[in-house]
Amino acid sequence: MITAIENIELYRYEIHSLLKAFYPKEDVKVLTQEDAAGNRKYQQIAREPFLRVFFAEKNITIQFCGSKEGPDDMACSAEAPAGISFMEKGPVLKTELKHLLYKMLAKREGRTLPWGELVGIRPTKIAMQSLLEGMTVAEAAGAMERGHLVSPSKALLCAQIAQREREILADIHYENGYSLYIGIPFCPTTCLYCSFPSFNLSLWRGRVDEYLDALEREMAACASMMQGRILDTIYIGGGTPTTLEPVQLERLFAMVEAYFPVNDLQELTVEAGRPDSITADKLHVLKAHDVTRISVNPQSMKEETLRLIGRMHTVDDVRRAFSMCREAGFDNINMDIILGLPQETEEDVRHTLREIEKLSPDSLTVHSLALKRGSRMQKYIAEKGYSFAADTEGFMEIAGGSAAAMGMEPYYLYRQKNISGNLENVGFARPGKAGIYNILIMEEKQSILALGAGSISKAVFPREGRIERSDNPKDVETYIKNVGEMIERKRRLAIGLHS
């Protein structure tokens, strides 16, 4: 356990995130002095590594004490610029704190992090802003290196992706347009790593139509709120939308087409996801309603891994589902993989990618495993004694090389808390096959109307630099019973959009 103590609470999140980035297996606590005084564990701190952060008017001091390896004490400090108080939140103090703490931890551990002191999930927004200010890609990368201590390779990757995003989003209607997300929260089974709304279809099969009833009610009300705005993209996710029966999928698309303007869509994606949910009849429905992009997600092409993570299908099922999609006429198929799954080695990753290259998808989304504390997967790993790669940088290099061999370039990127190796998730695509919605949800440049259980609507006000959110409950039962309340929340959001 590592405990950090601030004399006043200013940047608890940033301190916690950087400590976790360097010590992912440690339990990290960030307390104020007042918190610590009332904490029964406070007396143990002297016997554990702990950090002191002291904010004063004219300076900030950080001291790392009681280390079990290396020097017993490390300390650093910085003076506040004239006219700046280091006892109040502000950009200068935030940057100074993160730089000081990062450099201290890097020195103590003898290593740096690929993303430097960045703790947010959207690093491309930083590079994008630099490009909008007139910087070149190289200059934007350099600014990330200097301003956030990002490694040269990640800074360049980030800036290059930001440039591609600008090109892909050139025709998006930011101020008078929007995108639509529809959540279908059912799956054949729930994977161990999953943190999305996912309910076992076998337990809900008799109530799927009831869920669609509530979804239609939300659609009808919210579509009227968005009248006069241009709908650019639709993303139907979950869960696994293709767990719906063909007649239910037909109903879903009929609802969408009845309430929303779909004639000028730039993209319509369906997250088919699980190969064991895909049938020829379902693909026929998707094709008949002009779905432009689908996903067939193996996560791994190793049979033992599929069983371990709770995916009740085989590698042959992945191949069969992919072939069915091609035969149905889909020319933009994505595949997802996860790096760092339990028991997987570099050779397993190479095998997965060799098998995917044989199928030749149009895009590949590469996730680094994010193990959340207390998650089903973390508990399972602990119980079974399974190993997993804590540093997957080599895995990511293998995936990037494979994507390049398939003619793909990286086009969007995001990070997660507790992500393996302090790395990132990257989407690769062939020219013209990038997932537009994926970029929009990360860059937060366009409003997104999100319907269904577990979805989060975002109203973006670009001129004001402000974003407002309205979330729906993850629980299906709660969503069905309270859909009226969800509609009212969005009505308040829409009032702001049209003001």
Residue 317 domain-assigned (yes or no): yes
Is pLDDT larger for residue 378 or for residue 11? 11
Residue 374 has pLDDT above 60, yes or no: no
User: Are both 145 and 211 inside the same structural domain?
Assistant: no
Q: Under 8 Å CB-to-CB from 224, ≥6 apart: which residues?
A: none
Residue 68 confidence class, pLDDT cut points 50, 70, 90: very low
Question: Nearest 5°: phi and psi at 366?
Answer: -110, 115
277, 369: one domain = yes
Q: At 102, is the pLDDT very low, low, confident or very high (cuts 50, 70, 90)?
A: very high
Expressed as residue numbers, the domain containing 148 is 124-168
Sorting pLDDT into bands at 50, 70 and 90, what band is 339?
very high
pLDDT at residue 67 tops 70 = no
Of the candidates 382, 384, 385, 364, the residue with the CA atom closest to the CA atom of residue 374: 382
| Whether residue 94 sits in one domain with residue 139 | no
Taking the C-alpha atoms of residue 196 and residue 185, their distance in angstroms, rounded to an integer, is 8
Query: How far apart are alpha carbons 260 and 297 in whole angstroms?
Result: 28
What per-residue confidence (pLDDT) applies to 487?
95
Scanning 200-345, the segments in alpha helix (DSSP H) are 201-204, 208-225, 246-259, 280-288, 303-308, 315-327
Reference 31, options 11, 52, 4, 55; nearest CA is 4
| Average pLDDT of the chain, as a whole number | 90
Residue 122 CB-density burial (10 A; 0-12 exposed, 13-18 middle, 19+ buried)? middle
Residue 145 falls inside a structural domain: yes
Cα–Cα distance, 447 to 177 (Å, whole number):
7
Say if residue 230 is in the same domain as residue 135: no
pLDDT of residue 199: 65
For 122, list phi and psi in degrees, rounded to 5.
-125, 65
What mean pLDDT do residues 115-120 have? 93
CATH number of the structural domain spanning residue 473: 3.30.750.200
- pLDDT tens-digit readout, 138-156: 999 999 999 999 999 999 9
Cα separation, 285 vs 250, in Å, equals 6
pLDDT at 499: 47
CA distance 311 to 342: 14
Enclosing H/E stretch for 365: strand 363-368
Residues 148 and 182 in one domain: no
pLDDT in tens, 13-46: 999 999 999 988 788 889 888 776 666 555 555 4
Q: Residue 89 domain-assigned?
A: yes
In this structure, is the dihedral angle defined by the CA atoms of residues 335, 336, 337 and 342, taken in order, positive or negative?
negative
Rounded to the nearest angstrom, the gap between the alpha carbon of residue 68 and the centroid of all alpha carbons in its chain is 34
* Identity of the residue numbered 398: I
How many other C-beta atoms can be found within 10 angstroms of the C-beta atom of residue 59?
13
Our count of domains for the chain comes to 3
- In this prediction, residue 145 carries a pLDDT of 97
Look up the pTM and report it: 0.90
**Is residue 461 located within the same domain as residue 325?**
yes
Q: Are residues 220 and 128 in the same domain?
A: no
82-96 pLDDT tens trace: 999 999 999 999 999
Domain check: are 403 and 456 in the same one? yes
Residue 379 lies in a domain: yes
Quick one: 246 and 220 in the same domain?
A: yes
Phi and psi (nearest 5°) for 20? -65, -35
Pairwise CA distance, residues 184 & 268, whole Å? 15
Q: Give the range among 201-205, 367-371, 481-485 with minimum mean pLDDT.
A: 201-205
